[in-house]
């Protein structure tokens, strides 16, 4: 057990060092880069902060293997392909997102950059034995914004359940206040200068192998057993 905990801690540290999901990311930082001689550095798939089976039984290793190893990897690889040789090559991920948001000629770049960011952030929003209610300043902020934690949970769940088709539900900081928002497809609050604090992925590939069409059950499992409130609190402190 001690060796497994130490391994998970090391994975967590490696992940935060190489992904936009840590504090540098929230300040507009970038993902880990792999340098190549005479070439702009490439975005890399971040290391998961836990083993692929760590979220069982709420998210299976099979789902995480496909979601992280195939879907997320495909976004990273496609982004590198699309920006290679362009003025965006070597630019921070958040800058690419903001530069291409709403640009009809660069939709593919935006989609892959945003999905690369969103997924990197999503992995850190979860942890084994997570969920429940937050504490401390984060809890007070949520109560101040929504009236109670239960009201927040209801509003966040409703946003995730009612997001039509693919997308995301978010808790964000926006001009000093907390809000729940939902976004279509790859759209991310990063593009609109909101500070992401928490997200859940409601694309079908996030849950279909485990829950089929029961999206609401997946959301309940996320809220009750997976949310990494410590990570959310870190994001709030750096907002």
In a domain, 9, yes or no: yes
Average pLDDT over residues 18-43: 46
Chain centroid offset of residue 213 CA: 22
Residues 16, 77 within the same domain: yes
> Is residue 130 domain-resident?
no
Domain extent for 170: 136-237
pLDDT at position 22 is: 38
Q: Are residues 148 and 115 in the same domain?
A: no
Q: What is the CATH number of the domain that holds 41?
A: 1.10.287.990
Residue 69 is assigned to a structural domain of this protein: yes
Q: Is 55 inside a domain boundary?
A: no
Query: Using omega within 30 degrees of 0 as the cis cutoff, is the peptide bond preceding 117 cis?
Result: no
Instruction: Single out the residue in 99, 124, 149 at which a domain terminates.
Output: 124
Which positions ≥6 away from 150 have C-beta within 8 Å? none
Residue 131 lies in a domain: no
pLDDT at 104 over 50: yes
The confidence band for 239, taking pLDDT boundaries of 50, 70 and 90, is confident
E strand or H helix at 40, and its extent?
Answer: strand 39-43
The tokens describing 232, both together, are 């959310």
**pTM across the whole model:** 0.85
Mean pLDDT over residues 123-129, rounded? 98
Query: Considering its fold, how many domains does the chain have in total?
Result: 2
In a shared domain, residues 142 and 229: yes
The span from the CA of 181 to the CA of 138, in Å, is 18
Q: Are residues 6 and 107 in the same domain?
A: yes
Q: Please indicate whether residue 132 or residue 1 has the higher confidence score (pLDDT).
A: 132
Are both 141 and 103 inside the same structural domain? no
Q: Please say which residue of 124, 147, 177 terminates a domain.
A: 124
Cα–Cα distances (Å) from 94 to 59, 90, 189, in that order, read 28, 12, 11
- Could you tell me the CA-to-CA distances from 67 to 42, 76, 134, 203, 205 in Å, in that order? 21, 13, 27, 10, 6
pLDDT > 90? residue 116: yes
d(CA 68, CA 75): 10
Last residue of a domain, one of 69, 89, 124: 124
33-66, pLDDT tens digit by residue? Answer: 333 334 667 999 999 999 999 999 999 999 999 9
Are residues 155 and 229 located together in one domain of the fold?
yes
108 SS3 class: helix
113 and 214 both lie in a single domain? no
Q: Are residues 192 and 80 located together in one domain of the fold?
A: no
pLDDT digits (tens, 9 = 90+) for 153-211: 999 999 999 999 999 999 999 999 999 999 999 999 999 999 999 999 999 999 999 99
Considering the domain architecture, whether residues 151 and 228 belong to the same structural domain is answered as yes
Q: Residue 45: its pLDDT value, please? A: 97
| 120 and 15 within one domain | yes
Give residue for tokens 């590198």.
80
> Considering the domain boundaries, does residue 70 fall inside one?
yes
């Amino acid at each position: 057990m001690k060796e497994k905990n130490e391994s998970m801690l090391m994975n967590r540290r490696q992940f935060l060092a190489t992904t936009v999901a840590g504090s540098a990311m929230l300040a507009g930082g970038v993902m880990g880069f792999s340098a190549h001689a005479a070439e702009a550095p490439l975005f890399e798939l971040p290391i998961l902060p836990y083993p692929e089976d760590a979220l069982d039984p709420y998210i299976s290793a099979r789902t995480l293997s496909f979601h992280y190893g195939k879907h997320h990897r495909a976004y990273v690889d496609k982004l590198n392909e699309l920006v290679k040789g362009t003025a965006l090559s070597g630019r921070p991920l958040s800058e690419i997102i903001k530069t291409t948001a709403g640009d009809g000629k660069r939709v593919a770049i935006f989609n892959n950059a945003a999905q690369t960011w969103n997924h990197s952030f999503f992995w850190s929003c979860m942890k084994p034995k997570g969920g429940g209610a937050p504490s401390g300043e984060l809890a007070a902020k949520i109560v101040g914004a929504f009236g109670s934690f239960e009201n927040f949970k209801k509003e966040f769940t409703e946003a995730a359940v009612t997001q039509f088709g693919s997308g995301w539900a978010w808790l964000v900081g926006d001009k000093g206040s907390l809000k729940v928002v939902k976004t279509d497809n790859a759209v991310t609050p990063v593009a609109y200068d909101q500070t992401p604090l928490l997200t859940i992925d409601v694309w079908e590939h996030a849950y279909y192998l485990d829950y089929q069409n029961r999206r609401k059950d997946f959301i309940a499992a996320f809220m009750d057993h997976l949310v990494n409130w410590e990570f959310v609190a870190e994001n709030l402190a750096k907002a």
